[in-house]
Structure 1
Amino acid sequence: MIFREATRRDLPAVLALIDDDRAERAEVTEAHERAFAAIEADARNEVLVLADGDVLVGCLQLTYVPGLGRGGRERALVEAVRIRPDRRGGGLGAELMRLAVERARGRGCGLVQLTSNKRRDAAHRFYERLGFARSHEGFKLHLEP
């Protein structure tokens, strides 16, 4: 397994993972292209992948957020954690999260945080097994165009 930053070439496979699609590749729109270019250009954002040869088996996005709390140390926000459906249950998700936490620690972050949909009980148990605590209640406000 190789853990690395995603490249533009990975974008269709990353989108398929995010959509929880069993397909190897997903359609890349102009909006996806702009978003990926913005992530690549921003030192506080990265899409990370776990690859088995040429096949992406997992991905996540890390965003480093500056803050005044925790002594002014950054926090790492984890989003879009996905493992291919046909590769789940073998420890790849735990390894992907371990590597992401190590990356945040190496950057000097004081905290790693994430949100998970309230209906995803299995995901909640997974994060708790990794040492994450349910410490806050989250809120979202969807902004429609």
Structure 2
Amino acid sequence: MLPPVRQRCLPIGPAHCATLSGMSDVIFREAVRADLPAVIALLADDVLGRTRDFTEVDARYEKAFADIDADPRNQLIVADADGELLGCMQLTYIPGLGRHGAERQLIEAVRVRSDLRGQGLGRQMITWAVDQAKQRGCALVQLTTDKTRHDAHRFYLDLGFLPTHEGMKLPL
């Protein structure tokens, strides 16, 4: 039996706690509806995000959040320091027939607040996500990153991710 996915508070543990800019320990937890404006701001706080995301909550974001929150295979995770959101990511657990019926974890929408980038929070977030995948018994973790995000490519390579596939998208 797989460990439960639905937990509201997901502390990263003493070995992974972060103190950034004098803030107390950072915890990773599932987002709640009240976090939505801050998450949207994080998504838009990015060169590509500015062209794809708005800074105000509208019905589309409300529906997407409700759908993610209701789906036990999806988690919208936030990095929280004393109620201040420093980062976010979405984790999706995908069942499959490949690899002998193995489940995989997909990491998407990874963002760290722009003034905190390069201080180790992103590394802690991904390390924590990979640990969650291991605890669930996932066979692999996968992610995609835009081809123009060269810093992100270096970051993920440094964390042990390999560029094994060529991803494609079809805008609708």
Deviations 1:8-43 (A, max 9, x none): 11110001111116xxxx311011111100101100
Q: Name structure 2 gaps, 5 residues minimum.
A: 1-25, 47-54
Alignment map for 1:50-69 (pairs within 5 Å): 50-69=79-98
How many Å apart are 1:70 and its aligned residue? 1.6
The aligned counterpart of 1:73 is: 102
The aligned counterpart of 2:35 is: 10
How many Å apart are 1:53 and its aligned residue? 1.1
Instruction: Show structure 1 runs of 4+ deviating over 4 A.
Output: none
Q: Which amino acid aligns with 2:171?
A: H
Identity between Structure 1 and Structure 2 (%): 58
CA RMSD of aligned residues (A): 0.9
Give the TM-score normalised by structure 1: 0.93
How many Å apart are 1:69 and its aligned residue? 1.1
Q: How many residues align?
A: 139
Q: In 1, Cα distance between the equivalents of 2:28 and 2:127?
A: 11
Q: Which amino acid aligns with 2:29?
A: R
Q: Partner of 1:28: helix, strand, or coil?
A: coil
- Within the alignment, does 1:100 sit opposite 2:129 as a pair? yes
Q: Partner of 1:138: helix, strand, or coil?
A: coil
Q: Partner of 2:28: helix, strand, or coil?
A: strand
Q: Name structure 1 gaps, 5 residues minimum.
A: none
Deviations 1:58-98 (A, max 9, x none): 10001111101122111111100000000111000000001
